[in-house]
Amino acid sequence: MNRLGLENGRLEFDITLARGLNYYTGAIFEVSADQVKMGSICGGGRYDDLTAQFGLKDVSGIGISFGADRIYDVLNELSLFPDSTASSISYLILNFGDEDTISNLDLAKKIRAKGHDCEIYPNNVKIQKQFKYADATER
């Protein structure tokens, strides 16, 4: 069962994919949107010792970048922007910490499946701050 709501996602393996040949040293990846004629909207990969150029030797890592303008274009082309930009939500799921993340995502998915908008508060902060945010976005 897919717990994050990505039932429509698709993974393709392409050995001809190439990006940043001058610094990527391992696996690379790109993310693209179906139903639009555009290149990747996100990409990255593994690099070994790239930080040596900046004086920090022998550090490996994984990098990722998102094309905000490309994501905007995809959302616009697929008409995925809401009709109203009013700052209001029907449901706010409070954040009590990392241990509740999966159950919060499951709950948000169920609420959205019933046609209601909802949001998960992004950080585990004091409940009072989360309630204050809820009051500010109340309908």
Query: Is residue 117 in some structural domain?
Result: yes
User: From CA 49, how far away is CA 55, in angstroms rounded?
Assistant: 10
Residues 69 and 98 in one domain: no
Residues 14 and 45 in one domain: yes
* Local structure of residue 94 (DSSP, 8 states): -
Quote the domain boundaries for residue 107: 91-136
pTM over 0.85: no
Query: Is residue 2 in some structural domain?
Result: no
Q: Look at the chain and report how many structural domains it folds into.
A: 2
Each residue's pLDDT tens digit, 67-94: 999 999 999 998 888 776 666 778 999 9
Q: Looking at this protein, which amino acid is placed at residue 22? A: N
Domain end residue (candidates: 54, 81, 108):
81
CB of 39 closer than 8 Å to CB of 65:
no
Mean pLDDT over residues 3-11, rounded? 67
Residues 62 and 111 in one domain: no
- Between 93 and 21, residue with greater pLDDT: 93
Query: Is residue 73 in some structural domain?
Result: yes
- Between 83 and 109, residue with greater pLDDT: 109
- Which of 10-14, 98-102, 130-134 shows the lowest per-residue confidence on average (mean pLDDT)? 10-14
Q: Looking at this protein, which amino acid is placed at residue 91? A: Y
For residue 29, give the nearest of 37, 41, 38 by alpha carbon: 41
